[in-house]
Structure 1
Amino acid sequence: MGVGPHDERFMAAAIRLSRWHTGLTSTNPSVGCLIVRDGVIVGRGVTALGGRPHAEPQALADAAELARGATAYVTLEPCSHHGKTPPCAEALIAYGVARVVIAVTDPDPRVSGRGIALLRAAGIEVDAGLLEEEGRRALAGYLTRQTKNRPYVTLKLAISADGMIGREGGGQVAITGPAARAQVHSLRAETDAILVGIGTAIADDPLLTVRTPGLESQSPIRTVLDPALELPLTSKLVNSARDVPVIVVARPEMDEARAEPLRSAGVEILPCDPYHPEVLLPALASRGISSLLVEGGAKTARLFLDAGLVDRIQLYQGPGTIGEGGIESPLQKTDMPSGFAHRGTFIFGEDRLDEYEREL
């Protein structure tokens, strides 16, 4: 039969659907599935909050008897193994789907290629690799954790017109306007964890939650690189640790007298050298963290850049200047590291966002 333009249209819609629950499906990826019969969408599903049920059984149940002889568009290869739920490939077979179109083959060794083989053995036509690049970008966190044993890392920087990200001893400095800040909160809402250094945590006393109305429950795990356990017990992070998790990354040879009050406040202390991200990131992945947003400050940004462990860069530029006493940005548009492709420019009021991404 082959792949046609209508297939691309439906797969693009399935990828958009998959993004509804990005960052909200625990260790499972957020997958989109559409069931299409005679050019009409008759069933749709996206991985449920928390990771179950998967997208395919929801879309099949939505389509009911109309699934027989239909085409399923799914952004990730249907699973073939018995876990906490039956295999999605078996569900597609049971409902009598005639054809399955897949964007991305699953790198999970329990699945990789087996889901496709199971479908083909049942006489179902399978086309794989449609809009694969777009599908991989939508599944970036899951794919990075599966193939590299670490979260997908986004570095976000807001830079003034004179190339600064803040002011020495000045606490938080508003570089971008409300529209850009709202966009950052949307990014936080679809990210598993957010990370800052102890300098930023002390100077700015940030909350690092999502404050967009309706999305507050989607706040990421707050993570602080704090080798000597200097995070104040009076900080907003510590005082909210029982509501939204906080992980403090401290040297293994930590001062227990400092550690105990933090633990008593609900803070998790992760013994791991904060300045070796190649060790820290797998430790976070082992906790089910698939995506990490690095928000500050300059030293922390440079740490991840120098280690070559940044996958995406979001560079916001505001119109104002900071001037004397400014903290220079570790990165400008003119000195982007090699291997990053410019993905687009977006305008939010007076602010500009340039996004760069490594190939997955």
Structure 2
Amino acid sequence: MDELISIAVGLYECLSRDPRVSSPGSIRSYVYALADYLVRAQMGADDDLLLRVLAQNLRGSVRVREGELKDILRNALICLEGGPHEVVRIPTAVHSLDVDTDASPNLAIIINKYIDKYSSPKDKYIIIRKLFGEKKLEELHSNTVKIERRLEEAEELKISVSSLRRYRPGHSYSDVDILLTSKNFMRKSMLGKPISNLDIILREYKKKIIKNIIICLDVSGSMKEYVRGVTKLQLALGAIAHYLDFLRRENADVALILFNAQADVLWAPYSAAKYAEYMKAILPYVFPTGGTNLASAFRLLIEEDLGGEIVLISDGRTANAEAAVEYVKRIKGRIHVFAAEDSAVLKRIASAKGGVYSLLA
């Protein structure tokens, strides 16, 4: 925020030197106006829209003649650059904010420049909506894997037998109690009676109580690619939206980390029961861009001390694959992988942390 204030002061001084400005207004109004300007610039808004947005945000503060503010701001931005050339999309001073434009910052990195990364999903949604307008989550796709169902089916999540019951058509044979079932078969054989489904005994397990879920979502450029008529990212967002509904019923805490070449927290662990609607409302704003460095996501988990049941959604096309595998050893909790395409690297990661590996679609 200190860097943004210094830019605001620079813009204020440039406007103060323009004879057409009768009053440059307050520094505070410049801070919020520039925050809006920078985020929209990162999202690809054209120069004319950027100037109009900046003018709208400063109209109540800067006193000029009607219709002159946009041109005055154009000159002020050139003044910030220090030379008579075209309006810059992001002023040079803004680069002091450490926004790596070559690395194509994702939504989490952009938003966390203007709000604490641990702010609630509600607070983050309010700011995102103010900056980018209203968006709705696209229709969920029926061919998206149900994350909760796949995890529930996994043997690793069964921790103890709670009861026994007889088999009914449609239930999995993986839970058959071999000892009791074989006794029933032997008894029926000795009595000369036919064996039926009622002789098959299944174990019912207590499921692991879900408390803390960390979702790591790949938002690199390769997630733009299409799979069965939709993009990989659309499949991922649909799966996450379904999963949030499940986690709300389970009263679990859930966080979402976005990563491409860099990683950051889109929202920290918060109660899905309380914030699921805001979490789902944020999803449509997530966009794919840039390269992939899976190691950056794992490094962030370690640095922020985030652990629990980790759900990784990616296509596995990453730089520094071996570095990512090394970071896995230091992560707290299991890593369950939902792959947008089959990936040997992602299989290694799931196996190393005792997690599930499943294709996303």
Shorter-chain TM-score: what band? under 0.3
Higher strand share: 1
TM-score when normalising by structure 2: 0.27
TM-score when normalising by structure 1: 0.27
Higher helix share: 2
The structure with the largest alpha-carbon Rg is 2
